[in-house]
Amino acid sequence: MEKRQILFGKYEMGRFLGKGTFAKVYYGKKLDSNDSVAIKVISKDQVNKQGMMDQIQREISVMRLVRHPNVVEIKEIMATKTKIYFIMEYVKGGELFTKVARGKLREDLARKYFQQLIAAVDYCHSRGVSHRDLKPENLLLDENGDLKVSDFGLSALPEQQRIDGLLHTQCGTPAYVAPEVLRKKGYDGAKADIWSCGVILYVLLSGYLPFQDQNLMNMYKKIFKAEFDFPPWISPDARRLISKLLVADPNRRIAIPAIMRVPWFRKNFIRSSSFQIREKEEAPIFHDLNSTNQDADQGANSSKQSGSGGLRKSISTPAFFNAFAFISSMSSGFDLSSLIETKKKTGSMFTSRCSAEAIVDKIEVAAEGLKFGVAKEKDFKLRLEGTAEGRKGKLAVTAEVYEVAAEVAVVEFSKSAGDTLEYVKFCEEDVRPALKDIVWTWQGDTSTSCNGNGVVNGGEPTNTTKS
């Protein structure tokens, strides 16, 4: 009888599903619920030898950001001394490519997949993520026939843009790559993704690629000119949309809000509710077994969870911030915990040597000055809500004060509702200047400090008193 392979005392690892450059993917089951999962196993040694740890970090950061019904979900990240494990949603329907390889799809089915693709890509873009390798092989289908975007290994975040605000890395699959990516002069990742979506829609409706040639350079010439023909069976309405997607000039290419207004696209379109999306935004749990001698392959079942919970002394004092969460959040070099931290979060947390009461009062005054409504909740928690309608409704932000030690508090901001990029702008451009008097250290910054009178000093505070 074959011995069961148990990971971390939580998952049973089963049959081999596939292989990538640095990873092998296996079918798995969660022991307590019997739910199916996919387990992606990455060798740290191979990744380090190839200098690809940044890419792995970026993929984790991106998948942590994009929690959407039409994106493959990452559930947990676990690590031992030798391996990193992604525990991911198991999508049993396989690749969309397999379905397309059998021939063109019915227009209503192609439209459904395209609608779900655009909904997922729109959400990714709203969180600053460009996929950069959209193609039918990276689009999976679940048991309900719904589309899931996968493989964010080549994706980009805003911090990868150069001083010109553009991306410059040539990547992707040639037949699906936008002309501006091939030109090596810099490109907008979101606009390049829209081109790829246009190629995918063409493929779904025709059964073959719009730009084909045995000679790669000839194919590139066709891409540069957006030179393609329609088969006779593609409807006029679908042709019009594809013609707006496959425009060589990215500045003239249709944008997603305009795509969503096209009558052909809107037919039977069901947008995922903000509630559904918010439910999936909870960050995956991270376990690090670096400090143990056991490897998960040998059945390790102990773990350290980097949650941010803490013990509360009483209802009149803030929560004690979990020390592991504090260290891993404020230091970029703490074991593998940096893998689940994203640069998006930088600037959303600071330490202060002021009292919790003084911090809450200051945040309340600052919020009102920024025209945000303030609702005080129990346990040193505030909910701030903007008055202006943003891209995804009004921005709502939660601010919570934790006590780390007798004279040190951590203040953490998190987005409750609204657009992520608007939230990042709020943290960087509004919150930082407004709260400079009470800040000791912003996450990722060099030290500044607050004395008892609310005066900021460089380095160690002078005459610090508890207010």
Residues serving a catalytic function are 133
Distance between CA atoms of residues 146 and 116, nearest Å: 8
Structure tokens that stand for 1 in this block:
């009888």
Rg (CA), the chain: 24
Contact assessment for residue 275 and residue 416, using Cβ atoms and an 8 Å cutoff: no
- Smallest CA-to-CA distance from 340 within 161, 137, 85 is with 85
**Cα torsion at 80, 83, 84, 89 (round to 10°)?**
-110
CA-to-CA separations, 303 to 75, 157, 291, in angstroms, rounded: 16, 30, 10
| SS3 of 186-238 | CECHHHHHHHHHHHHHHHHHHCCCCCCCCCHHHHHHHHHHCCCCCCCCCCHHH
Number of neighbouring beta carbons within 10 Å of residue 333: 7
Is residue 109 within a helix (H) or strand (E), and if so which, with residue range?
helix 107-126
Give Cα 358 to chain centroid, integer Å.
34
Distance between CA atoms of residues 69 and 172, nearest Å: 24
| Amino acid occupying residue 73 | E
Number of neighbouring beta carbons within 10 Å of residue 280: 14
Q: Are strands 36-43 and 23-30 parallel, antiparallel or unpaired?
A: antiparallel
- Please calculate the CA angle 452-444-459 and round it to the nearest 5 degrees: 40
Number of neighbouring beta carbons within 10 Å of residue 285: 15
Contact assessment for residue 248 and residue 226, using Cβ atoms and an 8 Å cutoff: yes
| Amino acid occupying residue 466 | K
Distance between CA atoms of residues 408 and 318, nearest Å: 11
The helix/strand/coil state of 99 is helix
Contact assessment for residue 33 and residue 110, using Cβ atoms and an 8 Å cutoff: no
Alpha-helical regions (H) of 293-409: 323-330, 356-369
| Amino acid occupying residue 70 | N
Alpha-helical regions (H) of 50-106: 53-65, 96-100
Contact assessment for residue 356 and residue 318, using Cβ atoms and an 8 Å cutoff: yes
